[in-house]
Chain A
Amino acid sequence: MTKLLAVVKREWMARVRAKMFIVSTVLLPAAMVLFGVAPALILSIDSGNGLRVVVVDGTGKLFSRLKTSLQADDAADVDATVATRANRIAAGRRSDFVLEELQPANRSDADVKAQLENRLRAKEIDAYLILPPDVMQTAKAQFVRRNTSDLISTRRIRDAVDAAIRTQRLIEARVDARTMSALGRSVDFETRRISSGGSERDVGDSFLLVFVVGFIMYISVLLYGQVVLGAVIEEKETRIAEVLFSSVKPFTLMIGKLLGVSLVALTQLAIWAVAFAGFGLFGVSVLASRGIPTRLPSIPFHFYVYFALFFLVGYFVYATMYALIGSVVTTTQEGGQAAMPIIMMLVVSFYLFLPVSRNPDSPFSFWISMVPFFAPISMLVRIVTQTPPFWQIALSLFIGFSTVAFLTWIASKIYRIGMLMYGKRASIPEIVRWVRS
Chain B
Amino acid sequence: MVITSNDITVKVDHVSKSFGDFTAVEDLSLAVRAGRIFGLLGPNGAGKTTSIRMIVNITAPDSGTIELFGQKINSQLQDKIGYLPEERGLYKSMKVGEQLRFFAQLKNVTGKDAQQRIDTWLERLKLSEWKQKKTRDLSKGMQQKIQFISAVLHDPDLVILDEPFSGLDPLNVELLKDVVLNLKRAGKTIIFSTHAMDIAEKICDDICLINRSRKVLEGSIREVKKSFGRNSIALRVEGTNGNLATSNLVSNIQHHSDEVEVLLTANANPQDFLKELIASGAVVTKFEMIEPSLHDIFIEKVSETQ
A interface, CB within 8 angstroms of B: 2-3, 5-7, 10, 13-14, 18, 235, 238-249, 416-417, 420-422
Contact = CB atoms under 8 A, between A and B. Distances in A.
A5 to B, nearest CB: 8
Interface of A is mostly: helix
A6 B101 CA distance: 9
A6 B53 CA distance: 23
Interface stretch (B80-88, B230-238, B281-289): B80-88
Given A3-B106, A6-B102, A420-B58, A246 B93 contact: no
Contacts of B53: 242, 420
Contacts of A421: 19
Contacts of B85: 242-243, 246
B59 interface: yes
14 contacts: A2-B105, A3-B106, A3-B108, A235-B89, A238-B89, A238-B90, A242-B85, A242-B87, A242-B89, A243-B83, A243-B147, A246-B83, A247-B107, A421-B19
B91 A238 contact: yes
Chain A to chain B: the 3 pairs with minimum beta-carbon distance, closest first: A239-B89, A6-B105, A240-B89
B104 to A, nearest CB: 9
Given A420-B53, A420-B58, A244 B90 contact: no
B293 to A, nearest CB: 32
Among B58, B85, B102, B110, find the residue whose CB has the most chain A CB atoms closer than 10 A. Answer: B58
The CB with the most chain A CB atoms within 10 A, among B53, B79, B81, B105, is that of B105
A5 B110 CA distance: 11
B189 to A, nearest CB: 16
B92 interface: yes
B93 A14 contact: yes
B106 A244 contact: yes
Nearest to B84: A243
Contacts of B106: 3, 6-7, 244, 247-248
Nearest to B106: A247
A418 to B, nearest CB: 12
Contact of A3 (B19, B58, B92, B105): B105
A240 B151 CA distance: 12
B102 A243 contact: no
Contacts of B88: 239
B9 interface: no
B94 interface: yes
Contacts of A240: 89-91
Contacts of B83: 242-243, 246
B81 A246 contact: yes
Given A242-B58, A243-B147, A14 B94 contact: yes
Interface in B75-128: 75, 78-79, 81, 83, 85, 87-94, 98, 102-103, 105-108, 110
Contacts of B151: 243
- Main secondary structure on chain B at its contact with chain A? loop
Interface string B118-156: 000000000000000000000000000001001100000
Given A238-B92, A245-B56, 7 more contacts: A3-B105, A5-B105, A13-B98, A14-B94, A242-B83, A242-B87, A246-B78
Given A242-B58, A246-B83, A249-B75, A2 B108 contact: yes
Contacts of B92: 238
Most buried by B among A6, A249, A422: A6
Contacts of A238: 89-92
B225 to A, nearest CB: 33
A241 B88 CA distance: 10
A253 to B, nearest CB: 9
B109 to A, nearest CB: 9
A420 B93 CA distance: 23
A238 B102 CA distance: 16
Nearest to A239: B89
A420 B78 contact: no
A224 to B, nearest CB: 19
A2 B104 CA distance: 10
A10 B78 contact: no
B110 A2 contact: yes
A235 B94 CA distance: 13
A243 B59 contact: no
A5 B107 CA distance: 12
Given A240-B89, A240-B91, A10 B102 contact: yes
B91 A243 contact: no
A10 B78 CA distance: 21
A424 B121 CA distance: 36
A50 to B, nearest CB: 58
Nearest to A17: B93
Contacts of A417: 59
A417 B60 CA distance: 10
Contacts of A5: 105
Given A14-B93, A238-B92, A240-B89, A246 B105 contact: no
Which of A241, A247, A422 lies at the interface centre, i.e. has the most chain B CB atoms within 10 A of its CB?
Answer: A247
Nearest to B75: A249
B118 to A, nearest CB: 14
A244 B87 CA distance: 12
Contacts of A235: 89
B184 to A, nearest CB: 21
A245 B87 CA distance: 13
Nearest to A422: B87
A339 B98 CA distance: 32
Contact of B103 (A2, A241, A243): A243
Contacts of A241: 89
A6 B103 CA distance: 9
A241 B150 CA distance: 14
Given A6-B102, A10-B102, A246 B87 contact: no
Nearest to B60: A437
Contacts of A242: 53, 58, 83, 85, 87, 89
The residue among B92, B105, B106 with the most chain A CB atoms within 10 A of its own CB is B106
A241 B89 CA distance: 8
Contacts of A246: 56-58, 78, 81, 83, 85
A245 B107 CA distance: 11
B87 A14 contact: no
A271 B56 CA distance: 43
Interface in B167-213: none
